[in-house]
Amino acid sequence: METNDLVSLSDFSKEQIFALIRETKKIKTEKDIYAKSKPLAGKTLALIFQKPSTRTLVSFAAGMAQLGGSPLILNPQDLQLKRGETLTDTAKILSRYVDAIMIRANKHEDVQEIARNSTIPVINGLTDKEHPCQVLSDLFTIVEQKKLSTPEDLKGIKISYVGDGNNMAHSWILAAALLGMEIVVSSPKNYTAEKEFVQKGIELAKISGGKISLESDPMAAVSNTDIIYTDVWASMGKDEERDHRKQIFTQYQVNMALLAFAKPDVSVMHCLPAHRGEEITEEVMDGPRSIIFEQAENRLHMQQAILLHLLRA
């Protein structure tokens, strides 16, 4: 059976992304109306986390409850997955009990396998390759914080991603390419975004008019930019490389000196959690250019828009 999934950001069209951003604004401003009408009453969302989470877990669980639905947090250690039951069988069984699955997985292929074998929507809550829910929410934050008249105006925004070419960079490349934005990804050699995502971004950008580029010099990358975006230098699963990476990434720290090369009204974003004093200084994170905490709040509102989009009958 065909289902609506959000495994990769590119599962959604430009029009669907714009609609999600509009609904997020409505949910944020009409919170009480949604809470009263309980549009997801009777629906259950299974949440599976193979890696830690604060924002994704709490915003999906609280968001589901606020819309009248029930979140069901499943620890993979408590499931028969731990004893070798396959992802395929697990997906088939869960499809008979709940209405959607959100999974944070070590391997992107695992989420793809679950999606292929489920008859209900499957949402990627982060993998080694992508973090689509984060970027959808970030797009809303940019529209809100840059006071854009419509989501379509994102087309005029330039974003400079400075740091590890990881899951966040990949989802950002896809988003910019779909919406016709300009993105420059600045990472040290050997830590750049994967070719597959850069190639896909370049192909998609041909249709949207977007611009995707890689620039190893972070100061050149932030020139004339609207948004500086960063993420940890060592993602979950790479913790043992943290000390080694600290040496390699020093030049890529988002600090006041780097901000001086961007527009005076540049906004700074970080998906969090941050390693304060590594990829971003305290001064920038807590300073006037930071929209990081508004960004984190908006995860809640966008998760609700995603759930409504995938689950509303």
Active site residues: 104, 131, 134, 231, 271, 299
Shortest distance (Å) from residue 236 CB to ligand NVA: 4
Q: Minimum distance from CB of 308 to ligand CP (Å)?
A: 20
How many residues of this chain bind ligand CP (CB under 6 A)? 9
Q: Are 255 and 285 in contact (CB under 8 A)?
A: no
Whether the CB-CB separation of 63 and 31 falls below 8 Å is answered with no
Q: Which residue number, 14 or 104, has a Cβ lying nearer to ligand CP?
A: 104
Question: If contact means CB under 5 to 8 A according to the sort of partner, which of ligand CP, ligand NVA, none does residue 167 touch?
Answer: ligand NVA
**Smallest separation (angstroms) from ligand NVA to the CB of 160:** 17
Cα separation, 197 vs 28, whole angstroms = 32
Among 271, 292, 305, 311, binds ligand CP (CB under 6 A): 271
Select from ligand CP, ligand NVA, none the partner in contact with residue 166, using the beta carbon and a kind-dependent cut-off of 5 to 8 Å. Answer: ligand NVA
- Nearest residue to ligand NVA on Cβ basis: 235
The span of 14-22, 107-115, 254-262, 270-278 binding ligand CP (CB under 6 A) equals 270-278
Which tokens sit at 86? 């396959």
**Residues forming the site for ligand NVA (CB under 6 A):** 126, 131, 166-168, 231-232, 235-236, 271
Nearer to ligand NVA, 59 or 235 (CB): 235
Q: Distance of CA 285 to CAs 67, 87, 246, 272, Å?
A: 32, 39, 18, 11
Which residue's CB is nearer to ligand CP, number 132 or number 210? 132
Residue 53 binds ligand CP (CB under 6 A): yes
Q: What is the closest distance, in whole angstroms, from the C-beta atom of residue 131 to ligand CP in the complex?
A: 6
Rule CB under 6 A: say whether 134 interacts with ligand CP.
yes
Angle separating helix axes 167-179 and 132-145, nearest 10 degrees: 60
User: Based on CB atoms, which residue is closest to ligand CP, 10 or 134?
Assistant: 134
CB 265 within 8 A of CB 225: no
Question: Using CB under 6 A, which of 126, 143, 157, 212 touches ligand CP?
Answer: 126
Is the distance from CB of 197 to CB of 174 less than 8 angstroms? Answer: yes
- Residue 106 CA to its chain's centroid (Å): 15
Can residue 56 be called a binding residue for ligand CP (CB under 6 A)?
yes
Question: Using H for helix, E for strand and C for coil, what is the string for 49-74?
Answer: ECCCCCHHHHHHHHHHHHCCCEEEEE
Using the contact rule CB under 6 A, the part of the chain among 19-27, 194-202, 269-277, 300-308 near ligand CP is: 269-277
Strands (E), 151-306: 158-162, 182-186, 211-214, 227-230, 267-270
- b/e per residue, 282-310, with b = 16+ CB within 10 A? eebbeeebbbbeebbebbbbbbbbbbbbb
Q: Which does 54 bind (CB under 5 to 8 A by kind): ligand CP, ligand NVA, none?
A: ligand CP
Backbone φ, ψ for residue 64 (5° rounding): -65, -45
Inter-residue contact 173 to 197 (CB < 8 Å): yes
Please state the φ and ψ torsions of residue 268, each to the nearest 5 degrees: -110, 130
For residues 119 and 178, give the distance between their C-alpha atoms in angstroms, rounded to a whole number.
27
Q: Which stretch binds ligand CP (CB under 6 A): 51-59, 86-94, 209-217, 280-288?
A: 51-59
- Which of ligand CP, ligand NVA, none does residue 216 bind (CB under 5 to 8 Å by kind)? none
In the range 144-163, which residues lie near ligand CP by CB under 6 A? none
55 forms part of the interface with ligand CP (CB under 6 A):
yes
| Interacting residues toward ligand CP by CB under 6 A | 53-56, 126, 134, 271-273
